[in-house]
Structure 1
Amino acid sequence: MSNSKPTILVQLDTDAQPSVFDGVVAVDAGVDHLFRHASVTPDNVRDLVYGALFTRGPADLRQTALFVGGSNVAAGEAVLETIKETFFGPFRVSVLFDANGANTTAAAAALAALTSVGGSLDGAHAVVLPATGPVGQRVARLLSRLGASVSIGSRDLGRAQSLAERLRNTTGGRFEAFTGGDPAQLNATIAKASVVVAAGPEGAQVLSAALWQGRSDLRVVVDLNAVPPLGVEGIEATDKNVERHGARAWGALGVGGLKMKIHKKAVKALFNANDTILDAEEVLELGRDLV
């Protein structure tokens, strides 16, 4: 990052306090200056973006970038859309969207699965449960991009069906919905899975050992919950592509190491150009050579 102008990352956080985690990652990624703003909304973000656009000439705008974060992913998505609408002509800077770590975590989970099945998900059947949260939605989307057909799980079948339809329409991928609250339906869905990703809330078990252990077709299980009880019974948080009961296992901390590498690489990539938007798919591509 050595150019005539120092690199500046403007952290736009929708929470009342900017994320310390995201700030530390930015510093460790080598950003020269970090400007942190809290309580960012679509209504107040335009002036912040204008400040980033109009203080440097077009040739130097690649040295300025934006990071959209915060714990509320939907709020961050609204801010991102306003940012994109604010850009015009050559007046634009690169943006990384990673509210609540959703994109980097989902990319790491999808790449962990891809690695464990030998580098190809073409024809694989993946299950994501629950899939209707911010991380689960992105994991489902990315697994489909990598070639898998994906079963969308939720205790609310209507939410699962709505998400499956939306993902089919936006990606052209193969998605079906099921309810994880129905033991028989959950068992039948896991029985045909080659990949399972648990993206549930902290401290909530979504898959018992009896439902996944010993399944002949199951090749990889990824659990993104690090808080006991873990999301998948029989997986350790530190598991990193280890064999457990015939499947390759990844725990939240095992995935987390890859997520951190992807996050840092994404921050560095912002300064390669002034017109890059890093959302889930772009973050996934950046992480392919890091597994």
Structure 2
Amino acid sequence: MSDPYLLHIFSPTKYVSPFDINMAYEANFDAVIPYCNIELEEVPALTQDTIFSRRPAGVKRTGIFIGGRDLDTALDMMEAARKAMVPPFEVSVFADPSGAITTAAAMVAIAERWLQAEFQCGLSGCQIFVFGGTGPVGTCVALLGALCQAEVSIVSHQGAAAAQLVAARCSQRYDLQFNGVDGSTAGAVTAIMARAQVIFNTAKAGIQMVAADQLSAALHLRVAADANAVPPSGIAGIAAAERRVQLDTAGGVAIGVGALAIGDIKYRVHTRLLAQMYQAPTPVFLAYREAFAMARQIVAEQA
């Protein structure tokens, strides 16, 4: 085969996700080559082995995907790969550790759509609370919310200290404001629901973070998005298949969105970004900004 389309997957974990491999083949790459237990310092050499081993026609048909489990590590690896390029030997790079970036992009774009359609407002100035916000999906949701000028609070079931640690790290890295909030007790969650306008659940699957009585007591809630597809739902009243469910609260009706609806947009974002890599005449570098722009486009097409 002359000049095949090749995708190299760099992961700092002991294995590369089968999901990422399957998606790459569905995007028509001829071969997908996984690399496990990669350390940040190894990325420049691996990148240069990738680019210098192909002739000009072949290098245009080559890409690097950054996987793993940690958002900051993936972004650091992407930047290391970018800096290792030597024009005209350059390839496209896409970072999406554990699907965190594309999932977060889908969640925030969907929430934004319902705010605009049902409440005639956007994310700017909204009080956003991210349950499970210390994990990769939650951290990226918080980042996208902050970029939209929302007031973002990262919630941890391990307590305020854990949430504040992650919030401080994000604030320093991204030069944006994040708050850390306790979500370790029923009383703490009830206090959150008295303030929240938008909530996202990105916590561990199969754990309910917001109970029915806490949800019904919400005073200002407009949109709730739950990424948990494993029963019980992470937010009471939102089944995984729900694309738009009305939630009755003390402050009025809010809109709920379930995990499968989020997953549908996430899948489309992931697929289209891989297609961009495959089709791009010049290298593209794809991370949270590009994923969010794509998610907004897809959500708008479905409106």
The alignment's TM-score, normalised by the length of structure 2, stands at 0.85
User: Once superposed, what is the RMSD of the aligned Cα atoms?
Assistant: 2.4
SS in 2 for 1:247: strand
Instruction: State the Cα distance separating 1:64 from its structure 2 match.
Output: 1.1
2: CA distance between counterparts of 1:280 and 1:60? Answer: 27
Q: 1:247-283, CA deviations, whole angstroms, 9 ceiling, x for partnerless residues?
A: 2111111111111000001111124154422121221
1:178-209 CA distances to partner (integer Å, 9 max, x unpaired)?
Answer: 10124444322221211100110122221111
Cα distance in structure 2, aligned partners of 1:12 and 1:176: 32
Q: Partner of 1:39 in structure 2?
A: 37
Q: Whole-Å Cα distance in 2 between the matches of residues 153 and 219 of structure 1?
A: 18
Q: Is 1:166 matched with 2:169?
A: yes
Asked if the contact 1:129/1:200 (under 8 Å) is kept, the reply is yes
Note if contact 1:40-1:79 (Cα within 8 Å) is conserved in structure 2.
Answer: no
SS class of match (1:288) = helix
Q: Could you say which residue in structure 1 is the equivalent of 2:285?
A: 277
Tell me the amino acid that sits aligned with residue 125 of structure 2: G
Which residue is equivalent to 1:100? 98
DSSP 3-state at the match of 1:92:
coil
2:109 paired residue among 108, 111, 122 = 111
Q: Secondary structure at the match of 1:193?
A: coil
* Deviation per residue, 1:33-69 (Å, 9 max, x gap): 3223333333544443223211234565332110111
- Aligned equivalents of 2:87, 2:74: Cα separation in 1: 24
Find the counterpart in structure 2 of residue 259 from structure 1. Answer: 266
AA partner of residue 177 (structure 1): G
Q: 2:86 aligns with which of 85, 88, 107?
A: 88
Task: Determine if contact 2:215/2:236 at 8 Å carries over to the other structure.
Answer: no
SS of equivalent to 1:70: coil
Measure, in 2, the Cα distance between the counterparts of 1:286 and 1:97. Answer: 14
1:63 aligned to 2:71? no
Contact 1:41 1:75 in 2 (8 A): no
Match of residue 229 from structure 2: 226
Shift of 1:80: 3.3
Q: 1:248 aligns with which of 235, 255, 278?
A: 255
Where structure 1 has 5 or more consecutive residues not aligned to the other structure, the ranges are: none
| Pair 185,20 (structure 1): closer, same or farther in 2 beyond 3 Å | closer
Question: Residues 104 and 210 of structure 1: is their aligned pair in 2 closer, same or farther, counting only changes over 3 Å?
Answer: same
Offset of 1:171 from its aligned partner?
A: 4.0
Aligned partner of 2:136 in structure 1 is 134
d(CA) in 2 for partners of 1:165, 1:213: 31
Residue 270 of structure 2 corresponds to residue 268 of structure 1: no
Alignment partners' CA distance in 2, 1:173 and 1:39: 31
1:123 aligned counterpart, secondary structure: coil
Identity of aligned residues (%): 31
Q: Within 1, Cα distance between the matches of 2:169 and 2:70?
A: 20
Equivalent residue of 1:14, what SS?
A: coil
Structure 1 counterpart of 2:12, one-letter code: T
Contact 1:178–1:186 (CA under 8 A) maintained in structure 2: no
Answer whether contact 1:242 1:248 (CA < 8 A) is retained: yes
- Greater RCO, 1 or 2 (C-alpha within 8 Å, sep 6+): 1
CA distance in 2, matches of 1:168, 1:43: 25
SS of residue in 1 equivalent to 2:24: helix
How many residue pairs end up in the alignment?
288
1:7 deviates by: 2.5
Task: Give 1:73 shift.
Answer: 4.9
